[in-house]
Amino acid sequence: MNPLTLEGVEFHYPATEAPALRDVSLAVAAGEIVALVGKVGAGASTLLLVAADLAPRITGGRLTGTVRRRARSGIVLPTPWTQLSGMAFTVWDEVAFGPANLGWPGREIARHVERALERLEIAALAERDPATLSGGEVQRVILAGILAMDPDVVLLDEPTAELDPAGARALWRLVRVLAGEGKAIVVATSDLDAVPAVADRVAWLEQGAVRAMGAPDLLAEEATCEAGLGTTVAGVWRAAGLAAPYPLTVADAIQRWR
């Protein structure tokens, strides 16, 4: 049974006419990573809120269709600094906040917190006050707090937005590791160049609907490039007037060039 299934989902925010999501169906298997791509406002963030049971529960609005979650989910918002609990005076306590709310025994909490701090490379910040961290440090703390709860469904909205480029690479590797551990992962990202190495499947959202779904090669197709949603390498190839199919990554380009 898939940990996350959406069927024919339509969602309206309060007081807006046009639906934010229309007829969206998506099933995510354990161990699978689905990347959501689209222009700003296409619905990727809303889809994650719906999957996390925050919309309409917290946002208000109207949902029709079916959302099935077979397991606990964790979400990292595109504004991670708004996710700080405000109740913790150290990074360690901040990361422990979620697990503690799950009522786990202390040793279990400690084990998960230590591991999450390690994975996000912030063990050195453990004693710091979360209110005084840099932007990327906060994003790492929030990611660690979600992972420490060991959710089976991991929902990530622009998880690398404030990470330095090396940290972003490390996070994408970690996402693959999490999938290897059997988590179902949905990630919305504008870092299209990262998608080929990370995602099993790509869903292209347009005006609230799934316009196309497929392997990451989707990001080298004519229509995707035309919409500004191709990878940079595909875009450069296309702009050079070279023939399709366009290479998706630098590695593909090297092969094509030979």
Ligand X SMILES: Nc1ncnc2c1ncn2[C@@H]1O[C@H](COP(=O)(O)OP(=O)(O)OP(=O)(O)O)[C@@H](O)[C@H]1O
By the criterion CB under 6 A, which residues form the site for ligand X?
132-137, 162, 164
List the one residue from 70, 115, 169, 176 that touches other proteins (CB under 8 A).
Answer: 169
**Measured distance CA(13)–CA(2) in Å, rounded:** 27
Residue 64 touches which of ligand X, Mg ion, other proteins, none (CB < 5 to 8 A by kind)? none
List the one residue from 88, 162, 183, 198 that touches other proteins (CB under 8 A).
Answer: 162
Helix, coil or strand: residue 254: helix
CB of 84 to Mg ion, least distance (A): 16
**Measured distance CA(183)–CA(176) in Å, rounded:** 10
Amino acid identity, residue 27? Answer: A
List the one residue from 41, 135, 182, 214 that touches Mg ion (CB under 5 A).
Answer: 135
User: Of the two residues 41 and 135, which places its CB atom closer to Mg ion in the complex?
Assistant: 135
Amino acid identity, residue 100? Answer: A
Amino acid identity, residue 224? Answer: T
CB of 80 to ligand X, least distance (A): 11
User: What character string, x for contact with other proteins (CB under 8 A) and - otherwise, covers 106-145?
Assistant: --------------------------x-xxxx--x-----
CB of 215 to ligand X, least distance (A): 33
Residue 164 interacts with Mg ion (CB under 5 A): yes or no: no
Q: Which two tokens stand for residue 11?
A: 């969602």
CB of 136 to Mg ion, least distance (A): 7
Residue 144: alpha-carbon gap to chain centroid: 14
Sheet holding 33-38, edge to edge: 73-76, 153-157, 184-188, 33-38, 201-206, 209-214
Of the candidates 184, 193, 212, 200, the residue with the CA atom closest to the CA atom of residue 253? 193
How large is the greatest C-alpha to C-alpha distance in the chain, in angstroms? 61
List the one residue from 149, 163, 186, 199 that touches other proteins (CB under 8 A).
Answer: 163
- The count of other CB atoms within 10 Å of the CB of residue 124 is 9
Residues that bind Mg ion (CB under 5 A): 134-135
Applying CB under 8 A, the residues found at the interface with other proteins are 38-41, 45, 78-79, 81, 132, 134-137, 140, 158, 161-169, 190, 193, 228-229, 231-233, 235-242, 250, 253-254, 257
